[in-house]
Structure 1
Amino acid sequence: MKRNNEIIDLFDLKHQTNYRKTIASIAKTSLSTPKFSAFLNRLIDHLEIERALETGTSLGINALYMAGTDNIKTLRTIEASPILASLAKKQFSELLQHKIKIKEGTIQDCFESEVTVLQPELCFIDADHRSNAVQFCVDTLMNKSESIKCIVIHDIYWSEDMADVWEKMIVDPRFTLTIDIFQAGLIFPKMQMPKQHFVLRF
């Protein structure tokens, strides 16, 4: 993907504008590091997650890492861009297609229904990098999924707005354990322990 110079048309939800990029440039700027993707895989394995939900499929790499554990039975992923969804489907068709289901649409349109149907145990939030979108996802998970064990919010320091919503998550009384690994914030809403927050070098 980092060598693919095909140009595709995309839409920026935040600024409501169209723009063009090569697949290579998307891969170079939007893909997680292999270390972080492997972390998602190990986290799912450690928590024995069978059902996971992702927002922001992009090129599909993190979905493949998450679905690559023996525990995962179903991973649903939401992508607003039809062309990115198409590129991800190509990856899934070659690897783990039987585990991954992709839903095209915005989180505002799709997220609540996906949570209701799947009842995810883990959710990886990596789509709309705006505080109101992140808050919407977290509140929906807490209200609609009785099975949720862990919420992973990617890019918590992407902007001042994202940092602000992460600070709200840290002090939210619904969450007994929060962990900051800089690339992401981890929320464990149902841990049987006094409320605690940790910052880890990752």
Structure 2
Amino acid sequence: MKSIAYFEAKRIMLPDSEIGLREIILRNFPNTEFVTAAADIIFLPKDAIKQAKKIISEEKNLNNNTMLLIDGIYLSDQNEAIWKTLKQNPKVTVTVDMFYCGAIFVRREQVKEHFKIRI
């Protein structure tokens, strides 16, 4: 919720399975639009991390201010390997590792950086 407010996100991409999260977002941010492309924030739950590479590769999904938030980046060895691969993607300029989840940004004007935050 804090990311939605901080980034003033209006367009959010969520998997169809995240009905409860969708309701919570709409309760707190009633003007939010749920989209299938060109989102301000894209959320992938821990069981959907495999989709991240495809989302990043498709230009229609991202703009210069899009944040891709991935849950469960260390939940399994497979998720951790995917996270490491995503960090190396040339389109990805900033990653924020918060242990339980990770954020990816594709800001073209920014130098590639990786942050690890203990929360």
Query: Taking every aligned residue pair, what percent have the same amino acid on both sides?
Result: 19
Per the alignment, residue 61 of structure 1 pairs with 20
Task: Give 5+ residue unaligned stretches, structure 2.
Answer: none
Matching of residues 41-190 of structure 1 within 5 Å? 41-55=1-15, 57-58=17-18, 60-70=19-29, 72-76=31-35, 114-115=36-37, 119-126=38-45, 128-129=47-48, 131=50, 133-140=51-58, 143-147=59-63, 149-190=66-107
User: 2-side partners of 1:194 and 1:153: how far apart?
Assistant: 21
The 8 Å contact of residues 94 and 112 in structure 2, kept in 1 or not, is answered as: yes
Aligned to 2:81, the other structure's residue is in SS state: helix
* Larger CA Rg, structure 1 vs 2: 1
Q: CA deviation at 1:164?
A: 0.5
Q: Structure 1 unaligned segments of length 5 or more: list them.
A: 1-40, 77-113
Q: 1:166 to 1:146 in 2, by over 3 A?
A: closer
Structure 1 residue 134: Cα displacement? 3.1
Task: Describe the shift of the 1:130–1:123 C-alpha distance in structure 2 as closer, same or farther (beyond 3 A).
Answer: closer
Q: Is the 8 A contact 1:57 1:63 kept in 2?
A: no
- The 1:167/1:61 distance shift into structure 2, 3 A limit, reads same
Q: Name the SS for the 1:55 alignment partner.
A: coil
For residues 70 and 43 of structure 1, do their structure 2 counterparts lie closer, same or farther at Cα, with a shift above 3 Å needed? same
The two structures, once aligned, show a CA RMSD in angstroms of: 2.3
Greater RCO structure (CA 8 Å; 6+ sep): 2
> C-alpha deviations, 1:165-198, integer Å up to 9, x for none?
1001112221111001111110011163211101
> Which whole-Å deviations, capped at 9, do the CAs of 1:44-101 have from their partners, x for residues lacking one?
110011100112534x33223333444843125xxxxxxxxxxxxxxxxxxxxxxxxx
Q: Measured at CA, do residues 50 and 71 of structure 1 come closer, stay the same or move farther in structure 2, by a change above 3 Å? A: farther
Q: 1:51 to 1:171 in 2, by over 3 A?
A: same
